[in-house]
Amino acid sequence: MSTNQGKKAEETRRNILSAAEELFMTRGYDAVTMREIAKKAGCSHTAIYIYFREKEALLLELSLPILNALTKQLDDIMKQIGLPHEKLTTLSLALI
């Protein structure tokens, strides 16, 4: 794949993720179709499947950074010295 093709593919992928994020946030995950995401992203409804096998894969991709940050935060809390009930309280507040 040439550099230009690679850049175009990455741009298309970012556009799909951005469109999916916006649509999921405004209309809800269940109300959005892959066809709608593709249209908003500026690609064909068949091309979207080159990048994401299904809508769940899009949701997972969008969720991973948030879940990874939360996991790190919870791990950091567990490493702190303190009584178990204090850790539990701190973990609960972090989740909220």
Angle formed by the axes of helices 55-79 and 3-27, nearest 10°: 80
Structure tokens of 13? 């992928």
- The residue with greater pLDDT, 86 or 30, is 30
What does the alpha-carbon distance between residue 54 and residue 40 come to, in Å, rounded to a whole number? Answer: 16
Q: How many CB atoms are closer than 10 A to CB 44?
A: 12
* 0.95 surpassed by pTM: no
- The string of pLDDT tens digits covering residues 33-67 is 999 999 999 999 999 999 999 999 999 999 999 99
**What pLDDT band is residue 12 in, cutting at 50, 70 and 90?**
very high
Residue 41's closest CA among 9, 5, 14? Answer: 14
